[in-house]
Amino acid sequence: MSIDEKNDLIFKALAASSRRAMLDMLKDHPQTTGELCARFPDLDRCTVMQHLKVLEQAELVIVRREGRERWNYLNPLPIKEIHDRWIGPYAAQAVSLLGRLKDDLER
């Protein structure tokens, strides 16, 4: 899979607010699929599982099975890679511009 195809999967996964909310819930600690379903009472279990599948395909969630339980872990590395490629350079440029503006105004 090419880097562009991988990025497309990540952006697709992040496009849905429900999936972003799931990632937020996994930020502090892993949760079982049942726990995630309980936190989304407006979604049925099948829909939650479909969202988790999209997140897993994008490698944003890592799944580990323990007996009958399915534990979902946040994998922040794909988000970091997106940040490093897309956000970091633009943020650094913006900070540099603000620094120059500050210097110009102080003169």
Q: CATH: 1.10.3470.10, 1.20.210.10, 1.10.10.10, 2.60.40.1080. Which one for 1-75?
A: 1.10.10.10
Q: Which residues contact 58 (CB under 8 A, 6 or more apart)?
A: 6, 9, 10, 12, 13, 14, 78
Q: Which residues contact 73 (CB under 8 A, 6 or more apart)?
A: 26, 30, 61, 62, 63, 64
Q: Which of 89, 77, 93 is nearest to 7 (CA)?
A: 77
Give the rounded percent of residues in the chain with a pLDDT score beyond 70. 100
34 φ/ψ angles, rounded to the nearest 5 degrees:
-60, -40
Token pair for 15 = 């496009």
The mean pLDDT value for 49-56 works out to 98
pLDDT tens digit sequence for 7-31: 999 999 999 999 999 999 999 999 9
Instruction: Give the global pTM.
Output: 0.81
